[in-house]
Structure 1
Amino acid sequence: MHAGQIAGAMSNSPSSFAQHHVAAALQFAGNDSLRSVLEAIGDSIWDWDLVSNEVFFSQPYKRILGYADGEFGNHLSEWTRRLHPDDAPQTLETTRAYLAGEIPVYDNEHRLQCSDGSWKWLRSRGALVACTAEGKPARMMGLVTDITPTRLLHEELKKSHALLTTFSQQLPGIFYQFQLAPDGSSFFPYASVGIQDIYEVTPEQVRRDATEVFNKIHPDDLESVRAGIMESARLLTPWHHEYRVQLSSGERWLMGDARPEKLGDGSVLWHGFISDISKRKLAEQKLSAAEQQMRLVLKASNQGVYDFNILTGEASASPEFARMLGYEPEEFSDSKKFWRDFWEHRIHPDDIPGLKKAYQTHFSNSKGKDFHAEFRQKTRSGDWKWIMSLGSVVEWNHEGRAVRMLGTHIDITERKKAEEEARSSQELLNASNSRYKQLAQELDILISNAPLGIMFATEGVIVRANSALAELCGFASAQAMIGVQTNFLCQDADDYKAFSALVAPKLLADEAVDVEWKVKRVTGESFIARIAGRALPSENYVRGAVWMMEDITLQHSMLDALTSSERRLQRLMNSSLVGIAQGVVTGHLTDVNQVFCQLSGYRREELIGQSIFWEMLFSEQDRQTCQQAYEELVATGSVAPFELMLRHQDGHKIPILVGLNYLESSRNEWVVFAMDISERQRIGQLKSEFISVVSHELRTPLTSIRGSLGLVEAGIAGELPPKARHLIHIAHNNSVRLIGLVNDILDMDKLVSGKMIFRTERLDLAQLLENAIEANMAYASSLKVHLRYSEHPPRALIRADSDRLMQVMANLLSNAAKFSADGDTVDICLWQNGQACRVEVTDHGPGIPASYRPHIFEPFTQADGTNTRQQGGTGLGLSITKTLVEKMGGKLGFLTGEGKGTTFWFEFDAAE
Structure 2
Amino acid sequence: MSAAVEHSAASNTDAALSILLTAIAEALWDWNLLTGEVIFSSQYQQLLGYSDNQFGHHLDEWINRLHPDDAKPAMAHLRAHIDGHANLYQHEQRLLCKNGNWKWVRARGSIVARDSQGRPSRMLGLIAEINNEHQQQAKLNLKLSLSDAMLKNFSQHLPHSFFYQFQRFADGHFCFPYASVGVSTLFGLKPEQIKDDATALFQLIHPEDLEPLRQAIRSSASSLQNWRQEYRIMHGSEERWVMGDAHPEAMADGSVLWHGFLSDITEQKRIQKKLQDSDQQMQLIMRASNQGLFDFNVQTGRGTYSAEYARMLGFSPDDFPDAKKFWQFFWQESVHPDDIDTLRNAYQEHFSSHGKIEFKTEFRQKSKSGQWRWILSLGSVVEWDAQGRAVRMIGSNIDITERKNAEQAVRHQQELLSSSQANYKHLANELDILISNAPVGIMFVSDGTIIRANKTLAELCNFPDAKAMIGMKSTFLYQNEADYRAFAALVVPKLIADEAVELEWLVKAIDGKSFMARIAGRALPSQQYVRGAVWMIEDITQQKNMLDALRHSEQRLQRLMNSNLVGIAQGVEQARLIDVNTVFTQLCGYPRASLLGDANVWSLLLSEADLATFQQAYSELLGSGTTPAFEIMLKHLDGTMLPVLVGLNYLENSHSEWVMFMMDISERHRINQLKSEFISVVSHELRTPLTSIRGSLGLLEAGVGGVLPEKAQNLIKIAHKNSRRLVGLVNDILDMEKLASGKSNFKAERLDLVPLLEQAIEANHSYALALNVRLHLFHHPDHAWIKADPDRLMQVLANLLSNAAKFSPKGEAVRLQIHPRLEHEQLYYRVEVTDIGAGIPASFQARIFEPFSQADGTDTRQQGGTGLGLSITKTLVEKMHGHMGFVTAVDEGSTFWFQFPAEP
TM-score by length of 2: 0.60
Q: 1:270 to 1:895 in 2, by over 3 A?
A: closer
- Please name the residue that 1:338 is paired with: 327
CA distance in 1, matches of 2:402, 2:366: 16
Listed one character per residue, the Cα deviations across residues 241-282 of structure 1 (whole Å, up to 9, x for unaligned) are 6999997xxxx9965444577787689988444131545544
Of 263, 288, 299, the residue aligned with 1:311 is 299
For residues 276-355 of structure 1, what are the structure 2 equivalents within 5 Å? 276=267, 277-278=269-270, 281-282=273-274, 284-297=276-289, 301=290, 303-329=291-317, 330-331=319-320, 335=324, 338=327, 342=331, 346=335, 349-350=338-339, 352-353=341-342
- Name whichever of 620-629 and 338-347 sits farther off: 338-347
Q: 1:439 to 1:340 in 2, by over 3 A?
A: same
- Residues 618 and 645, structure 1, Cα contact 8 Å, conserved in 2: yes
For residues 595-674 of structure 1, what are the structure 2 equivalents within 5 Å? 620-644=608-632, 657-673=645-661
Once the two structures are TM-superposed, the CA of residue 406 in structure 1 deviates from its matched residue by 1.5
CA distance in 2, matches of 1:516, 1:494: 17
Listed one character per residue, the Cα deviations across residues 271-317 of structure 1 (whole Å, up to 9, x for unaligned) are 444131545544543552343144134xxx4x211111233332221
- Please name the residue that 1:431 is paired with: 419
Q: 1:191 to 1:311 in 2, by over 3 A?
A: farther
Q: 1:569 to 1:304 in 2, by over 3 A?
A: same
CA distance in 1, matches of 2:349, 2:463: 77
Is 2:493 the partner of 1:514?
Answer: no
Is 2:522 the partner of 1:534?
Answer: yes
- Residues 206 and 212, structure 1, Cα contact 8 Å, conserved in 2: no
CA distance in 1, matches of 2:453, 2:232: 39
Is 2:146 the partner of 1:158?
Answer: no
Listed one character per residue, the Cα deviations across residues 799-829 of structure 1 (whole Å, up to 9, x for unaligned) are xxxxxx999799699889989999x9xxxxx
- Residues 780 and 817, structure 1, Cα contact 8 Å, conserved in 2: no
- Residues 181 and 526, structure 2, Cα contact 8 Å, conserved in 1: no
- Residues 510 and 534, structure 1, Cα contact 8 Å, conserved in 2: yes
CA distance in 1, matches of 2:735, 2:415: 106
CA distance in 2, matches of 1:631, 1:191: 64
Once the two structures are TM-superposed, the CA of residue 336 in structure 1 deviates from its matched residue by 8.8
CA-atom RMSD in angstroms: 6.6
Count of aligned positions = 732
Q: 1:639 to 1:460 in 2, by over 3 A?
A: closer
Is 2:554 the partner of 1:566?
Answer: yes
- Secondary structure, aligned partner of 2:265: strand
Q: 1:391 to 1:206 in 2, by over 3 A?
A: farther
- Name whichever of 224-233 and 853-862 sits farther off: 853-862
- Please name the residue that 2:825 is paired with: none
- Residues 96 and 102, structure 2, Cα contact 8 Å, conserved in 1: no
- Secondary structure, aligned partner of 2:575: coil
- Residues 167 and 256, structure 2, Cα contact 8 Å, conserved in 1: no
CA distance in 2, matches of 1:536, 1:892: 73
- Secondary structure, aligned partner of 2:300: coil
Listed one character per residue, the Cα deviations across residues 336-391 of structure 1 (whole Å, up to 9, x for unaligned) are 99389538862553573476246624763547x97433333333454322212233
For 2:280, the aligned partner's letter is S
Higher RCO (C-alpha under 8 Å, 6+ residues apart) = 1
Q: 1:328 to 1:469 in 2, by over 3 A?
A: same
Listed one character per residue, the Cα deviations across residues 771-821 of structure 1 (whole Å, up to 9, x for unaligned) are xx9xx99999999999xxxxxxxxxxxxxxxxxx99979969988998999
For 1:537, the aligned partner's letter is P
Listed one character per residue, the Cα deviations across residues 563-591 of structure 1 (whole Å, up to 9, x for unaligned) are 23334455666787766554445435556
CA distance in 2, matches of 1:527, 1:257: 47
- Secondary structure, aligned partner of 1:71: coil
- Residues 174 and 192, structure 1, Cα contact 8 Å, conserved in 2: no
Listed one character per residue, the Cα deviations across residues 467-518 of structure 1 (whole Å, up to 9, x for unaligned) are 5445544556655555554444444554444433322332233221212223
Q: Which has the larger radius of gyration?
A: 1
CA distance in 2, matches of 1:529, 1:697: 80
Listed one character per residue, the Cα deviations across residues 384-425 of structure 1 (whole Å, up to 9, x for unaligned) are 222122333322334554422211111111012112212221
Q: 1:185 to 1:398 in 2, by over 3 A?
A: farther
Unaligned residue ranges in structure 1 (runs of 5+): 1-43, 45-58, 75-117, 126-142, 787-804, 825-839, 908-912
Once the two structures are TM-superposed, the CA of residue 624 in structure 1 deviates from its matched residue by 3.9
Q: 1:743 to 1:190 in 2, by over 3 A?
A: closer
- Please name the residue that 1:404 is paired with: 392
Once the two structures are TM-superposed, the CA of residue 661 in structure 1 deviates from its matched residue by 3.6
Q: 1:228 to 1:421 in 2, by over 3 A?
A: farther
Is 2:534 the partner of 1:505?
Answer: no
- Name whichever of 663-672 and 582-591 sits farther off: 582-591
Is 2:352 the partner of 1:373?
Answer: no
- Name whichever of 633-642 and 875-884 sits farther off: 875-884
- Secondary structure, aligned partner of 1:549: strand
- Residues 151 and 525, structure 2, Cα contact 8 Å, conserved in 1: no
Q: 1:855 to 1:621 in 2, by over 3 A?
A: farther
- Residues 206 and 213, structure 1, Cα contact 8 Å, conserved in 2: no
CA distance in 2, matches of 1:677, 1:188: 80
- Secondary structure, aligned partner of 1:385: strand
CA distance in 1, matches of 2:735, 2:618: 33
- Name whichever of 430-439 and 696-705 sits farther off: 696-705
Listed one character per residue, the Cα deviations across residues 642-674 of structure 1 (whole Å, up to 9, x for unaligned) are 445566788877655554443333343444455
Is 2:454 the partner of 1:454?
Answer: no
For 1:342, the aligned partner's letter is W
What percentage of residue pairs aligned between the two structures are identical?
46
- Please name the residue that 1:71 is paired with: 100
- Residues 596 and 674, structure 1, Cα contact 8 Å, conserved in 2: yes
For 1:338, the aligned partner's letter is W
- Residues 363 and 374, structure 2, Cα contact 8 Å, conserved in 1: yes
Q: 1:751 to 1:624 in 2, by over 3 A?
A: same
For 2:419, the aligned partner's letter is A
Once the two structures are TM-superposed, the CA of residue 550 in structure 1 deviates from its matched residue by 2.7
Q: 1:549 to 1:750 in 2, by over 3 A?
A: closer
- Please name the residue that 1:390 is paired with: 378
Once the two structures are TM-superposed, the CA of residue 320 in structure 1 deviates from its matched residue by 2.0
Q: 1:470 to 1:905 in 2, by over 3 A?
A: closer
CA distance in 2, matches of 1:465, 1:902: 70
Q: 1:274 to 1:811 in 2, by over 3 A?
A: closer
Q: 1:235 to 1:372 in 2, by over 3 A?
A: farther
- Residues 164 and 261, structure 2, Cα contact 8 Å, conserved in 1: yes
- Secondary structure, aligned partner of 1:510: coil
Once the two structures are TM-superposed, the CA of residue 151 in structure 1 deviates from its matched residue by 3.4
Q: 1:591 to 1:328 in 2, by over 3 A?
A: closer
Listed one character per residue, the Cα deviations across residues 78-118 of structure 1 (whole Å, up to 9, x for unaligned) are xxxxxxxxxxxxxxxxxxxxxxxxxxxxxxxxxxxxxxxx9
CA distance in 1, matches of 2:177, 2:585: 78
- Residues 351 and 376, structure 1, Cα contact 8 Å, conserved in 2: no
TM-score by length of 1: 0.60
Of 339, 350, 353, the residue aligned with 1:364 is 353
CA distance in 2, matches of 1:388, 1:906: 98
- Please name the residue that 1:274 is paired with: 265
Q: 1:518 to 1:64 in 2, by over 3 A?
A: same
CA distance in 1, matches of 2:473, 2:721: 108
